[in-house]
Each structure stands twice: as structure tokens, then as C-alpha cells.
């Protein structure tokens, strides 16, 4: 299961960011770093929800240490930060880890809007 879950989350970079945002109606981006403890805690939740919402919501990860342009563009100063995009526009953000039910409720709300 972990291999399937890992492949459900897209990997994004500064170079692929714009195209990924444009080509997904609803996208949740997990901005993280390998050394970040809370980022490691939220990663399995993001992977699980990526599988749960497969075909309806895209989930992606971006390593802020390797993608400084994204960090600057979205003023990411604390991680994890989740960015929520709908139809190519950022519509919400979450700074800090949150429990699965809270993230799921946020995604459900965006799907309904």
C-alpha cells in the first residue's frame, strides 16, 4: 500500500509548478523539507488523502529547500505549509500540521464550492 500511496502524490519543482497548477482543477500542495519533523508527520496523511480523492483532487509535494522560487512566490516561511489551488488560483493556505479530519474537511469544502 505504501508504494501506491507514494505514487499518488505528484512531485513538483520550480520548473513544473505552473503547469501542474494549471492542469488540475483542485490541487493541494504540501510544501515541506526532509529535515522537518511536522512535515514527516503530515506526509502519510497527504498520501492517504491523495488516494482517497484520486481522480477528483490532485495532491503534490514540493521540497522548499530545492524549490526556492515557490517559497518566495508564496511567502513560505514556516513548514509544513499546504497551498490549496482551484482552477489555477490559490484559494486557501494552511501553515502547520493539521489532523486528517481537518484536512479532509477543508478539501471537501473546496470540492463543494
With CA atoms as reference, report the closest residue to 83 among 48, 53, 112, 58: 58
Reported as type and span, the H/E element at residue 9 is strand 9-12
- The terminus-to-terminus CA distance of the chain in angstroms comes to 31
Q: What is the pLDDT of residue 24?
A: 86
- pLDDT (0 to 100) of residue 4: 42
CATH number of 2-112: 3.40.30.10
Alpha carbon distances (Å) from 81 to 8, 43, 94: 19, 12, 6
- pLDDT band, residue 8 (cuts 50/70/90): confident
Which range has the worst mean pLDDT, 16-25, 26-35, 68-77, 91-100? 16-25
pLDDT band for position 7 (50/70/90)?
A: low
Choosing from 28, 36, 76, 83, which is the catalytic residue?
36
- Of 21, 31, 39, 70, which is the active-site residue? 39
Active site residue 31: no
The answer to whether residue 39 is catalytic is yes
Average pLDDT, the chain: 91
3-state secondary structure of 85: strand
Strands (E) in 56-96, as ranges, are 58-63, 81-86, 89-95
Amino acid at each position: 500500500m505504501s508504494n501506491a500511496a507514494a505514487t499518488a502524490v505528484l512531485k513538483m519543482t520550480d520548473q513544473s509548478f505552473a503547469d501542474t497548477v494549471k492542469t488540475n482543477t483542485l490541487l493541494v500542495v504540501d510544501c515541506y523539507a526532509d529535515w522537518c519533523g511536522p512535515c514527516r508527520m503530515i506526509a502519510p496523511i497527504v498520501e492517504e488523502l491523495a488516494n482517497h480523492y484520486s481522480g477528483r483532487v490532485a495532491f503534490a509535494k514540493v521540497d522548499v529547500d530545492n524549490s526556492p522560487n515557490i517559497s518566495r512566490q508564496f511567502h513560505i516561511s514556516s513548514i509544513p505549509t499546504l497551498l490549496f489551488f482551484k482552477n489555477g488560483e490559490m484559494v486557501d493556505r494552511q501553515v502547520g500540521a493539521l489532523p486528517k479530519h481537518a484536512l479532509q474537511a477543508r478539501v471537501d469544502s473546496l470540492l463543494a464550492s
